[in-house]
Each structure stands twice: as structure tokens, then as C-alpha cells.
Structure 1
Amino acid sequence: MTQPDIIDRAAMALSAGLMLTGIVVLGVIEILAGQPYSPVPITNDAGEVVATPLFDPTLRTAFVLAGIGVLGLYAAYRLVTPMPEGTADRTGVTAD
């Protein structure tokens, strides 16, 4: 395997950053904002909205899916780019 180049590092950093933002950062901010921890608006018996989450769950999901999308694009890039010469780890095997 070759050493990671700038595209490898950029894809890893961007995807990790997006997923960590969606899962960890926004989750910690949601916890620090206080209750409710529900991902949907909370209503009382009359149907009035009494509490809403700080971040919409679709926003957090979008961050995570964007990170997964970056990894998918990176995988497609690695499939279509040719390997440099001399990097294949093939050894000859003698037939019995």
C-alpha cells in the first residue's frame, strides 16, 4: 500500500469532521442546552408545543450522511484512478 497523499488525507479529514460534527459536537451542545432531549417537539395535553430540540434531527442526519457521501466519493475516486507502477504486492507462485 502506498502512503496517503493529499486527497486521501483531505477525504479522511472532511468525512471525519462532518460525522463528528453531526454526532458528537451537536449532541454535546444539545445536552448542554438542557432538557428536553427528545428529537421531536414536546406538546402538552392541549396540543401546544411546549419544548423543541435545539437542533433539528434532520440537520444532524445531514451532517452524518454528508460524511458518508464524502467517503463514497473517495471510494469511487480510488476505484477509477490507476495504481502507480511498482506498488502491486504480487509474488510469483510456482505451480505444483
Structure 2
Amino acid sequence: MTQLDITEKVGLAFGGLTVLVGIVGLGVVEMLAGKPFGAAPVTNDAGEVVATPTVDPAIRTGLVILGLVVLFGVGLYRMATTGTERTDVRREVTAD
């Protein structure tokens, strides 16, 4: 197991923070703004829009997807830069 380098640390921090802001942070903003909590606009019987979400759902979704893409990229970077270990080495084991 190797230590994380600075690129991986920054990527993990940015990806995790982006996902948390998209889900938790903007969710709290929606709750503090009051009802309705849904992602779609609320209409009355006449079809008029009477309430809309505070934060556009496309922004929240975009932040979460961006965070997941960054985390996936960190995983690919880790796979590409991690050296391989030798598995064909024989080790002596004493029997009981």
C-alpha cells in the first residue's frame, strides 16, 4: 500500500467536497428556504407556476456528477501510477 500523493489528495478533497455540497449543502438551502421541497415547480389548478425550487435541480445534479467524475478520475490516476508488486516470490513457511 502506498501513500497518497498531492494530486490524489487534492482530487479526493475536491470530488468529495463537490458531492457533499451538491447533496447536503444545497439540500439544506432548499429546506431553509421553506416549502415546497420538491425538485419540480408546483402548479395550481389553472396550471400557473406558484412555487419553484430555490436551487435549480440541474445545478445540484451537475455538482454531484462533477464530483463523481473527479473521484473516478482519481481512481484511474491511481491505477495508472501505482507500481505492480511481484507475486511470484516464494516464501518459506514452516509446518506445524
TM-score higher than 0.5 = yes
Q: Identity percentage over the alignment?
A: 46
1:50-69 maps to which residues of 2 (within 5 A)? 50-69=50-69
Deviation at 1:92?
2.4
Q: 2:85 maps to which residue?
A: 88
Q: Measure, in 1, the Cα distance between the counterparts of 2:56 and 2:30.
A: 10
- Coordinate RMSD, CA, aligned: 1.8
Deviation at 1:89?
7.1
Q: Under a length normalisation based on structure 2, what TM-score does the superposition of the two structures give? A: 0.84
Deviation at 1:93?
4.6
Q: Measure, in 1, the Cα distance between the counterparts of 2:5 and 2:40.
A: 42
Q: 5+ residue gaps in structure 1?
A: none
Q: 5+ residue gaps in structure 2?
A: none
Q: Under a length normalisation based on structure 1, what TM-score does the superposition of the two structures give? A: 0.84
Secondary structure (helix, strand or coil) at the match of 1:50 reads strand
Q: Measure, in 1, the Cα distance between the counterparts of 2:86 and 2:31.
A: 49
